[in-house]
Amino acid sequence: MLEVNHGPQLSGIKSNKRPLQMELDDPLCYCFHITKRKIVNYIRIQQPRRASQLSECGGAGTGCGWCVHYLKRFFEQSANRVLDECDSLASSDYALQRAEYITSGRGRPAPGAIPLPQESSAVDSVNVELADKTRPR
Ligand code: FES
């Protein structure tokens, strides 16, 4: 089973460094927990003829719609074999831009999607509170 990195904000916290660019194991489609690696491999192996066929890779792009632009760019890259903005975008910036996209009402995350950075922090703080309350004194 594919292990998914649950967000660039977590990897940034762990390493105390801001990642310079999106890594292969960073999520590309937050709604369906699909990594950049999975998309790149899907393109390489399945050789889709249209960008819309990337939705057959675990439903990528069929949730909130945030990643559709990037899926199209990866598809175009594979056809043209060029590097572009997708590889120069920091994964933390990608996550923050998606959060802005969602909070501005332009898309609604699929059920079970990777939470927005603020939601993730809120969930983490609730978990810390619960751990504190259940800890023996
Ligand atoms: S992030 Fe891909 S559809 Fe929402």
In a domain, 79, yes or no: yes
* pTM across the whole model: 0.65
Q: Cα–Cα distance between 31 and 19 in angstroms, integer?
A: 21
In a domain, 15, yes or no: yes
Q: Which atom of ligand 1 has the smallest separation from the CA of 63?
A: 3
In a domain, 2, yes or no: no
How do the residues of the chain divide into helix, strand and coil, expressed in percent and rounded to 5? 55, 5, 45
Q: How far is the CA of 126 from the centre of ligand 1 (A)?
A: 25
In a domain, 1, yes or no: no
Q: Is the Cβ–Cβ distance between 60 and 71 less than 8 Å? A: yes
3-state secondary structure of 29: strand
48-89: pLDDT as tens digits: 999 999 999 999 999 999 999 999 988 988 877 654 555 677
Q: Cα–Cα distance between 97 and 76 in angstroms, integer?
A: 21
In a domain, 98, yes or no: yes
87-117: pLDDT as tens digits: 677 888 899 999 999 999 999 999 999 999 8
Nearest CA to ligand 1 atom 2: 29
Q: Cα–Cα distance between 116 and 102 in angstroms, integer?
A: 8
- Ligand 1 site residues (CB inside 6 A) read 29-31, 61-67, 109
Amino acid 10: pLDDT: 38
- Ligand 1 pocket check: which of 22, 42, 55, 66 to mutate, most ligand atoms within 8 Å of Cβ? 66
In a domain, 3, yes or no: no
Q: How far is the CA of 51 from the centre of ligand 1 (A)?
A: 15
Helices (H), 60-110: 68-80, 85-88, 91-103
In a domain, 128, yes or no: yes
Q: Which domain holds residue 76?
A: 8-134
Q: Cα–Cα distance between 14 and 20 in angstroms, integer?
A: 15
The tally of domains found in the chain comes to 1
